[in-house]
Amino acid sequence: MYVLGLESSCDETSAAVLSMDEASGVRDIKSNIVASQIDIHAQYGGVVPEIASRAHIESVTQVTKKALDTAGITARDLGCVAVTSHPGLIGALLVGVNFGKSLAFANQIPLVGVDHIKAHVAAAYLTDPELKPPFLALVVSGGHTSFYLVSDFTKFEEIGSTRDDAIGEAFDKIARVMGMPYPGGAALDRIAYEGRPGAFTFPSPALTGDNLDFSFSGIKTAALNIINGYAQREEELPVADIARGYLESIVTAVTKKIRLALNQTGANAFVMAGGVAANSHLREAVLKLCKNKKVSCHIPSQGLCGDNGAMVAAAGYYDFLTGVRAGTDLNASASDDM
């Protein structure tokens, strides 16, 4: 069946059409159109919620039309409309939810409201058509850093999380103060290759003990202090060296907690998803760790790590299979409750 996925939780308006048939193992991306607002928000150094909502309104219809046209279908061919309903920026979410609801209502198509975090994990099903729960998952994004036990396509149990900032915020903030455009995660990823290993060391964002929690406030403050020191002394900032040390500390902390989580849960499959899962240093370290531990490792292709409609359609499809249907009263929610 064809599933339309709509995503508007933050700063990407996206629509995708998937052809899905779990019985015969078909998970095909027919189209995945992403209209990014990054250029608009970059001038403010971060996402401006009101501007995001307005930009979604302007593009959601055209993006959806393009997704349907590229897939070579019309709305009437759809078996399900899946739309991100939570969590995210409330005004941004409302645009997608209301659009999806109207499209489903007008064409008499079942509607499913999708959890954005579950959608990030579902991107892994599209990269690895053989992948099935149970597995351990880590979502690393601009808003989240959490471990989940995924016992079924729709059943998630959170077993660890950040106590303060998300990993993506920690990247974006430091990238910004070092002069990189928003969102700086990808720029920091690239420039770190030019830095000298060990030139700067940072406190670990992995909390001590046998918990699966993180705290990014300490490492962020440490980096800010170093950067401010250079500014005060009017010395040239060693951007690449700082990026290298900062990334090394984060990658070491994340892999340490993944190792612990694998040991504690005995999971033999692991998924890492979310925008930060595009980070090349992190991908390499995690693939190596899983290889050493003989755990099968699944990270969505880089193009499917950031927010996109295909991941929403995939998550919505599995909700649909369990009989979940949203009514015409479907609402958006900013909160994290799954």
For ligand KG4, the binding residues (CB under 6 A) are: 10, 141-143, 168, 171-172, 183, 185-186, 189, 274-276, 278-279, 306-307
Cβ distance to ligand KG4 smaller for residue 262 or 312: 312
The residues that bridge with 13 in the sheet, in sequence order, are 35
Cβ distance to ligand KG4 smaller for residue 19 or 36: 36
7 binds Zn ion (CB under 5 A): no
* Tokens of residue 40, six digits: 């608009």
14 binds Zn ion (CB under 5 A): no
Is 272 within 8 Å of 166 (Cβ atoms)?
no
Given Zn ion, ligand KG4, none, residue 168, with its beta carbon under 5 to 8 Å by kind, binds ligand KG4
Helices (H), 72-166: 90-107, 116-127
Minimum distance from CB of 89 to Zn ion (Å)? 11
Instruction: Characterise 267 by phi-psi region: left (phi > 0), alpha (psi -120 to 50), beta (else).
Output: beta
The residues that bridge with 81 in the sheet, in sequence order, are 4, 111
Task: Choose which of 141, 154, 215, 308 interacts with Zn ion (CB under 5 A).
Answer: 141
**Helix, coil or strand: residue 259:** helix
What is the number of other CB atoms lying within 10 angstroms of the CB of residue 172? Answer: 26
DSSP 216-241: -HHHHHHHHHHHHHHHHTTPPP-HHH
| Residue with token string 């597995």 | 135
Cβ distance to ligand KG4 smaller for residue 22 or 284: 284
Given Zn ion, ligand KG4, none, residue 35, with its beta carbon under 5 to 8 Å by kind, binds none
84 binds Zn ion (CB under 5 A): no
* Tokens of residue 84, six digits: 């991100």
Minimum distance from CB of 292 to Zn ion (Å)? 29
Cβ distance to ligand KG4 smaller for residue 34 or 103: 34
Given ligand KG4, Zn ion, none, residue 205, with its beta carbon under 5 to 8 Å by kind, binds none
CA–CA gap between residue 14 and residue 313 (Å, rounded): 11
What DSSP character marks residue 214?
B
Cβ distance to ligand KG4 smaller for residue 109 or 308: 308
What residue is closest to ligand KG4 based on CB? 275
Q: Which of residues 276-315 bind Zn ion (CB under 5 A)?
A: 307
Residues at the contact surface with Zn ion, assessed by CB under 5 A: 141, 307
